[in-house]
Amino acid sequence: MSRKPTDGTKQGKQPRLFADDFDGFGPSRFRPADETPPVHEIRGKRVSRLKRGVRADAPRLPGVYGMLDGRDRLIYVGKAKNLRSRLLCYFRENSREPKAGRIISQTRRLVWEQTGDELAALLRELELIQRLRPRFNVLGVPGVQRHHYVCIGKAPAPYVYLTAQPTGKELGIYGPFTTWWKSEDAARRLNDWFKLRDCPQTVTMRFAEQCELFEGDRSAKCLRFELGTCFGPCAGECSRKDYSVGVRGAKAFLDGRDRSMLKTLTQQMEEASAAFQFERAMALRDRLQAVQWLDDRLGLLRHARERNSFVYPLAGVEGRVRWYLIHRGQVQSVSFAPSTPETSSDVMKQLAATFLDHPVPTVLSDVAVDSVLLVAGWFHRHPEERAKLLTKAKAEEVCGSS
């Protein structure tokens, strides 16, 4: 996660939201407005007391749960397809993960909130983590998993680089991403392929057409020019026009307009393998995998921003059908399926508000991308669910017939 925890430290004190009897985690945009979810809490200074409470009261239903310490601070939030089964895992000393042991040892109140289905539990967990930042959900997350962006820019010789905070002056901003080392590897491969520099801004750029009154040291500052993976703008080995060809090529790839790089790398790898040049084939494979990962992720984000708008009907554990209104890859609101003229009117208003034709965002925020990836992951694991999807027009037709 990219934000600091609100665990009562000086960086951000968490209010004691649950000091009194637990009545739920608060409002949610991921459940129908007229739904009041069942909630429950167990208190106990001893782990054995919490365990007995789970055995006695936890339902075999989906939901989200929270762990509170002795000062009523929320230290962890989780989700479960089966609350009873998931919570009992925390008490199995021989099979639980070390982190689970640390969490339950600090827990003095265990609370949960039921949800209508598993997707609702996933969305509610994400919503609560983003809003409350419980300590064990965000602390210990390595820096490589924090949100960052792949950018192209930095005059006078733009190149591909990573940053956690784009300035808005870049030629292109892509992401956000969560795996720093993968993004860094892909950026390096792109700079090599398009022969863009990757040296610090403190290195002076001298293009071939630039004339100098006193000739200085114009030797390349690294081996990349000698290896043929950089145009050498630091040594005056290329013109601005030549260098801009590489910049445009890298941007075309990142924009998804030119994917010929992937085709060429695949062809070169196959040729090397056929010629029994296995070391070269492996090197080409590594290069291909790095940029293919980046291309796949960028394609997913582009698809979410530009399309991925539909209504997803999903039957809940209690038999009622919920409509998830998904626009540009994100769940925007949830309602029960229309069953009467009154509910149909309300759902029609939600449809109109959800699918407004706003301009497509250039870059998704870190909060939005988590939601997009959650929805994409759900349909990746449950591809058969795509057959249920309704277009806005079809959903309005269903409302009209109710």
SS (H, E, C) 321-345: EEEEEEECCEEEEEEECCCCHHHHH
Residues 260-271: tens digit of each pLDDT: 999 999 999 999
Lowest mean pLDDT among 82-91, 266-275, 352-361: 352-361
Mean of the per-residue pLDDT values of the chain: 87
Domain boundaries, the chain: 39-141, 145-295, 307-401
Task: Specify whether the CB–CB gap between 109 and 68 falls below 8 A.
Answer: yes
Rounded to whole angstroms, the Cα distance separating 258 from 247 reads 13
Task: Specify whether the CB–CB gap between 65 and 48 falls below 8 A.
Answer: no
Lowest mean pLDDT among 132-146, 194-208, 268-282: 132-146
CATH number for 39-141 (one of 3.10.20.600, 3.40.50.1220, 3.30.420.40, 3.40.1440.10): it is 3.40.1440.10
β-strand pairing of 310-315 with 172-177: unpaired
Residues 15-58: tens digit of each pLDDT: 456 667 788 899 998 999 889 999 999 999 999 999 999 999 99
User: Sign of the C-alpha dihedral, residues 162, 166, 168, 169?
Assistant: negative
> 110: which strand partners?
42, 67
Q: Give the H or E element holding residue 159.
A: strand 159-163
Task: Look up residue 19 and give its two tokens.
Answer: 């000091």
Q: Give the H or E element holding residue 83.
A: helix 83-88
Give the Cβ contact number of residue 206 at 10 Å: 19
Question: Pick from 205, 204, 172, 207: which is nearest to 187 by CA?
Answer: 172
Give pLDDT, residue 300. Answer: 80
The b-or-e profile of 156-190 (16+ CB within 10 A means b, else e) is ebbbbbeeeebeeebebbbbbbbebebbbbbbbbb
Helix axes 118-132 and 366-381, enclosed angle (nearest 10)? 160
Task: Look up residue 55 and give its two tokens.
Answer: 């055995």
Integer-rounded Cα Rg, in Å, for the chain is 26
Rounded to whole angstroms, the Cα distance separating 88 from 109 reads 15
Coil/strand/helix, residue 372 = helix
Peptide bond into 158 cis (omega under 30): no
Q: Does residue 293 or residue 215 have the better pLDDT?
A: 293
> 74: which strand partners?
68
Rounded to whole angstroms, the Cα distance separating 92 from 85 reads 11
Residues 294-335: tens digit of each pLDDT: 999 898 888 777 777 899 999 999 999 999 999 988 899 999
Which of the 8 DSSP states describes residue 158? Answer: -
377-380 contacts, C-beta under 8 A, 24 or more apart: 378/119, 378/122
Query: pLDDT confidence of 212, banded at 50, 70, 90?
Result: low
Cα 73–Cα 75–Cα 78 angle in degrees, nearest 5: 130
Once rounded to an integer, what is the mean pLDDT over residues 223-238?
Answer: 88
